[in-house]
Amino acid sequence: MSIYRNAVWFVKGLQEYTKSGYEAAAKHFSPADLDVNLSDRCFMVTGANSGIGKATAQEIAKRGGTVHMVCRNKERAETAKGEIVAQSKNENVHVHIVDMSSARQVWEFAQSFSQNNKLHVLINNAGCMVNQRELTEEGLEKNFATNTLGTYILTTALIPALKKVEDPRVITVSSGGMLTQKLNVDDLQFEKGTFDGTMAYAQNKRQQVILTERWASQHKEIHFSSMHPGWADTPAVQSSMPSFHAKMQSKLRTEAMGADTVVWLAASPAAVKLPSGQFFQDRKPVATHLPLASSRSSPQEEEKLLTALEEFAQKFKP
């Protein structure tokens, strides 16, 4: 079945996820949707020093929003901040150094941030695709620790702060690659069989979509969404998927195209008129499963995922 899923997904991707797919979709966008002044709103963007995260931070800063960049590398973060400030003429851009693969660091950061800052919009963009199985210092598989557990801890720790403001939102940058995966709660850290980094990443991205749906049903005051940026030409794609990048380079979206729906979900009044918990592509909610793909999980499996994540989160809570 996974061969069927992969084939259907790739054909869909060639039509929809490429630069030409974005250009076709953009003909129907309303420019007024992003004609907004964000000067009274605070945004947190993880993984904001390059790629889609940086492009998102830049668009928000341009519209006057206060931006909190959460990055792992201080030097690269400060360079990106300088470029964002210069282009947006907005000085309200702040850098926070956090390794999203460290559960304890994420906890400590979220707790201290909540005490000292207001937050209207959380954008979970940081992610990694490590192609060899690698453990963090806390003994967790690195893709899972960064993409799933880091996202889970940061979001759940910031939910009380988000509930204190008007029009709070959480956007998680997932991937269309998750359509190739059915949730597998019995091997969250990829200990069984041959390790495949691309599959691990797609499995994490499926988990993010399920978390978004669950959070939306639990926290009605907050608007949650997940999204697929399309196939974009980012440093992460170049380094993690070099052969895909080489073959597809001429068809890939720009970083700004990849960021467009993130910015729209974060800033547009139109986005919150749609139901919470949906998965978006090019400013529209789309299906979270391919036709006939047998990729749906049961409520019991999803509950098992949440229970496991909560156990990990509590284990590393300071």
Residue by residue, DSSP assigns 45-75 as EESTTSHHHHHHHHHHHHTT-EEEEEES-HH
Contacts of 34 (CB under 8 A, 6+ apart): 59, 63, 263, 264, 267, 268
For 120, list phi and psi in degrees, rounded to 5: -100, -35
Is residue 118 within 8 A of residue 159, CB to CB? The reply is: no
- The two tokens of residue 228 are 């697929």
Q: Just list the catalytic residues.
A: 201
Q: Rounded distance, CA 35 to CA 263, Å? A: 11
Cβ burial, residue 62 (10 Å; 0-12/13-18/19+):
middle
Whole-angstrom CA distances from 119 to 31, 158, 207, 233 are 26, 8, 24, 30
Contacts of 240 (CB under 8 A, 6+ apart): 128, 129, 130, 131, 197, 201
Is residue 172 within 8 A of residue 225, CB to CB? The reply is: yes
* Cα angle 310-201-272, degrees, rounded to a multiple of 5: 70
Q: Rounded distance, CA 8 to CA 30, Å? A: 30
